Structure 1
């Protein structure tokens, strides 16, 4: 049967889909590194009053696990989001989504090599069905569109971003840190923000600045609360429950949710390929997450 983890893991791709739409809408006012920098400052300001005491009390545990904590901060807070924002500056949404299909495969292979997790037939079938659904959405039901795609530097950055998130997802299972979820997230935010800082200063030196408008402030607020704090928390819970390979399949929901949000917020048309692709994506995820009674 479908368990609670299925519902938990629906939320991160929904939040990240909204993040992608808003980031594209404010690309001229929010430079990529600046967006990553300020979203985590606000997220830290919101979470620290509630986790600061426990973070200080857990400092000994975090220090004993400093290597995996540092690696998680690098691959999640610092690298993934920054690379993603940089990628969409020079690649199309379709290209970025297609490159993102490598994420579940990367997670599956890393979990096999690093954790010794078996690659089960149900997982493989679920991944295949989910990817077919994803391709249906991004090609708008026309496979010939794949032949017209050209590679850009952003595609390489998107591949690095996917590899970074896959590594983080597997590290969550490989190195369980015995602290509360939000406490660990606070530690990752602090370390990841420090890693982003020099790149933000370099971006400023090139003349890229944030244009403070209601829209840009709203985007920073959304990315800090929904795409950062809530999405990361639910993702970590899901990975701990179902494992990194199965959780990785949920990344295929991002383009579907992006299309649905486009219909709701931008007045775009919901077409047959959205319904077909979405049904296949959910079917593939269900195959990988359903448990026999």
Structure 2
């Protein structure tokens, strides 16, 4: 069990580092090109792992599922994240992203037709209040750019929430590795298409640090985090694993302050804590009976 928890925490550390690298890469590459490069490399790695395990990737027969997942989980989520990180700090983006479990909860009854408990909805409201406090407690001067950045991060949370619940639906027909590789392929394709006519050579300013960040987001923040999280879920069980996603904003704030020397106002800090608490409440109490049964089975 301890090994499983350690893997879950490791995954959130890798994801937290993605926000820091995204902040470093903001002036180096346009968001769409950054996303194309990142997921292009990740796709090659994932397809290679599939080939090593002698598994095929049904890009044509499952094109609709892969295209939908690739749009929301790879193209929309990551691109919006990188766009937002150009305008707001990594710490603030990470705290807003604490609302991801809430986004998942909001789409669950509509996509999966599962009932959500009242306490989970209360947790949702608490998280929304936390996000409002984050908006009011920005440590940077209020500007149109920062507001747009905050909206972009919120939209990325909604995109990931929809990707997650759709992934649960499509996951009944394929394994997680195949689904992730297929989504990565189509998401990369969409990102590449979005670069046409919008990316110019004079917008690219790569440095040694930028290249290291590219390597990190393409490996540790993508493939490494994926394997750590799924291995942790397999050991600890889905029910126990869900709340650990809330470590993501914690690591992001720690890394932002330590590596980027970011400063956080007290109201922003309070807003982040409230957002995380609401998300934890939603995650813990929002489990259906079916999820609990699956958790018990995974522990046998």
TM-score (norm 2): 0.71
* 1:130/1:285 contact within 8 Å kept: no
For residue 288 of structure 2, what is the aligned residue in structure 1?
none
For residue 67 of structure 1, what is the aligned residue in structure 2?
64
SS, match of residue 57 in structure 1: coil
**What is the CA-CA distance between 1:87 and the residue it aligns to?**
1.9
**What is the CA-CA distance between 1:104 and the residue it aligns to?**
3.0
**What is the CA-CA distance between 1:173 and the residue it aligns to?**
1.4
* 1:36 partnered with 2:35: yes
* 1:55/1:186 contact within 8 Å kept: no
Map Cα deviations across residues 112-131 of structure 1 (whole Å, 9 max, x no partner). Answer: 12222222245345556667
Tell me the number of residue pairs that the alignment of Structure 1 and Structure 2 aligns: 281
Question: 1:259 and 1:67, CA in 2 relative to 1: closer, same or farther beyond 3 A?
Answer: same
* 2:74/2:187 contact within 8 Å kept: yes
* 1:182 partnered with 2:177: yes
Map Cα deviations across residues 117-163 of structure 1 (whole Å, 9 max, x no partner). Answer: 22224534555666778888x69xxx7669x8566333332232222
SS, match of residue 199 in structure 2: helix
Q: Which residue among 183, 204, 212 is the counterpart of 1:209?
A: 204
Question: 1:116 and 1:184, CA in 2 relative to 1: closer, same or farther beyond 3 A?
Answer: closer
The CA RMSD measured in Å over matched residues stands at 4.3
1:228-267 counterparts in 2 under 5 A?
A: 228-234=222-228, 242=238, 247=242, 252-262=246-256, 264-265=258-259
Question: 1:209 and 1:263, CA in 2 relative to 1: closer, same or farther beyond 3 A?
Answer: closer
* 1:65/1:177 contact within 8 Å kept: no
Question: 1:192 and 1:52, CA in 2 relative to 1: closer, same or farther beyond 3 A?
Answer: farther
Matches of 2:231 and 2:266, distance apart in 1: 33
For residue 105 of structure 1, what is the aligned residue in structure 2?
102
Question: 1:284 and 1:194, CA in 2 relative to 1: closer, same or farther beyond 3 A?
Answer: closer
Q: Which residue among 188, 192, 212 is the counterpart of 2:187?
A: 192
Question: 1:77 and 1:126, CA in 2 relative to 1: closer, same or farther beyond 3 A?
Answer: same
* 1:79 partnered with 2:76: yes
1:81-160 counterparts in 2 under 5 A?
A: 81-93=78-90, 96-97=93-94, 99-100=96-97, 102-124=99-121, 152-160=147-155
* 2:9/2:244 contact within 8 Å kept: yes
Q: Which residue among 141, 159, 165 is the counterpart of 1:164?
A: 159
5+ long unaligned stretches in structure 2? 286-291
Deviates more, 1:265-274 or 1:159-168: 265-274
* 2:8/2:244 contact within 8 Å kept: yes
* 1:135/1:277 contact within 8 Å kept: no
Map Cα deviations across residues 47-99 of structure 1 (whole Å, 9 max, x no partner). Answer: 3322136686352xx64443222111111111110111112223455664565
Question: 1:131 and 1:197, CA in 2 relative to 1: closer, same or farther beyond 3 A?
Answer: same
Deviates more, 1:71-80 or 1:2-11: 2-11
Question: 1:130 and 1:12, CA in 2 relative to 1: closer, same or farther beyond 3 A?
Answer: farther
